[in-house]
Homo-oligomer: A and B are copies of this chain.
Amino acid sequence: MADLRSAVVMAGGVGSRLWPYSRKNRPKQLLPLLGDRTMLQATVDRLAPLVPPERVFVVTNREYVEEVRGQLAGVPAENILGEPEGFGTAPAVALGAAVIRGRLGPGLAAFLPADHSISPHAAFQTTLETAFRAAETGRIVTVGVRPTAPATGFGYLRVGAPLDDAPGAYAVDEFVEKPSLDDAIAYAESEAYFWNAGIFVWDLDVLFAEFKQYLPHLAALGEEMAAAAATPDFVARLDEIWPRITDRTAVDYGIVERSKRVACVPAAFRWDDVGSWSALAAVLGPDADGNVIVGDHIGIGSRQCIVFAKAGRLVATVGLEDVVIVDTGDAVLVCPRDRAQDVRDIVQRLREQGSHELL
C-alpha cells in the first residue's frame, strides 16, 4: 500500500504581478496564460500518466471551488478542497494530506503548485517518477531546478552526495531563502545549487510524523481534518477547525527546511514560475524584433516589448522599447519591463482606493 500515489495541486494565490489579466476572481492559475489550457488544467494534464484523476486533489480558495470543478471535469468534485481562508502552504498541505489519509488511507503524495510553467510533460513525468520512488525510502523529496538566472526572489537549496538507496536523488545540505544578488550569481554558476520549485513528494506517514515534530498544533488539527474527511459534514467541520490554525506559515519554513529527511531530485524539465509579465514573456519567447506579442498589435520600429491584448482590441506602438502593455477589457497596464515586479503595487493601490471591481 505504501506506493499508492496521490497528488495535491496547490491552487491558492492571486498572482497580483500579472494584473490586470490576473484578478482576485480569476487568478493566474485559473487562466490560459500559455495556450488553450489553464495553468491548473495543464498541471493536472501533466500528472495523468502517474496519478489517475480520481486521486488528484486540489486545495484552493473556497471562492474558486466551483470554477476549479468546472475546469477539471475528470477530477471528482469532492476532491476539490476549499480553504475557508488562506493561511500559507503548511495548512494547505495539512488539509490535502488529511483528506487523502481520511478517505484513501496511507500512501505517497506529491504536492505541486498550479501556477508554474513546466515542459516537456514527459520530462516532468520522468522526474516525478524518480521523486515518488525516492519518497518510498521515507524521505521528503523536493524537486530542484537548475538556476537559469541569478534570481534573488527564489529559495535555493544546496545538494550534497547522491543517495545510494534512492537513484537520481541527492542529499540536501542547506537551504537559502532569497539570497543577495552576489550570492545568487555564485549559485547560478555553481553546480550544487538549485531553485526550490515547491514540488514535494512524501509518504503520508512521514508527513504526519514531521508535522507532529515541527508543527504539532497543526498536526493535531490535521488529525481532526482526517477524521472528518470521509464524513458527510466535512465542509462544516472544516469551517470549525480552520480558524483554530495558528501555524499560518509556509511548508518550506515550517517543515522542509527543518527536517532531517529531505532529499532533492533535480528536474529534467524546463521550469518557469511565470510570476510576472517578464517571466511570462520569457516562456512565450520573442519574435524577430524581440517582441512578445499575444493579441492584435501593430508595431512600427518597436523592440523588446511585451504586448498581451486579449480584449480583442488593437494595441499600436511606435518606436517603443522594453515596455510591457497589457490590455484587458476594463484596464490597460503600461510599464517598463524592468519594473514588471512592481505591478503588484498597482493592485495595492486599487485595494487602498476601494476599486474592488478592478482587483
Contact = CB atoms under 8 A, between A and B. Distances in A.
B316 A333 contact: yes
B318 A350 contact: no
A274 interface: no
Interface in A269-305: 298, 300
Contacts of A346: 298, 300, 316, 318
A63 interface: no
B349 A332 contact: no
A317 B335 contact: yes
A325 interface: yes
Nearest to A328: B313
Could you say which of A314, A331, A333, A343 has the most chain B C-beta atoms within 10 Å of its C-beta?
Answer: A314
Contacts of A313: 329-332
A350 B317 contact: no
Interface hub of A19, A330, A334, A346 (most chain B Cβ within 10 A): A334
A345 B332 CA distance: 23
A327 B329 CA distance: 11
A332 B331 CA distance: 11
A315 interface: yes
A342 interface: yes
A316 to B, nearest CB: 5
Interface magnitude class on chain A = 20 to 34
Nearest to A345: B300
Contacts of A300: 342, 345-346, 349
Contacts of A319: 335-336, 339, 342
A181 interface: no
Interface string A16-30: 000110000000000
A334 to B, nearest CB: 5
B334 A325 contact: yes
A334 B316 CA distance: 6
A335 B305 CA distance: 11
A320 interface: yes
A318 B335 CA distance: 5
A217 B232 CA distance: 95
A7 interface: no
A353 B314 CA distance: 13
A249 to B, nearest CB: 30
Contact of A334 (B19, B315, B339, B342): B315
Nearest to A344: B318
A298 B335 contact: no
A358 interface: yes
A57 B24 CA distance: 56
Contacts of A358: 314
Contacts of A350: 298
Given A298-B350, A320-B336, A336-B320, A314 B342 contact: no
Contacts of A265: none
Contacts of A333: 316-318
Most chain-B CB neighbours within 10 Å: which of A20, A298, A330, A353? A298
A314 B334 contact: no
Contact of A20 (B316, B331, B334, B342): B316
A40 interface: no
A306 B315 CA distance: 16
A108 interface: no
Nearest to A332: B315
A281 to B, nearest CB: 16
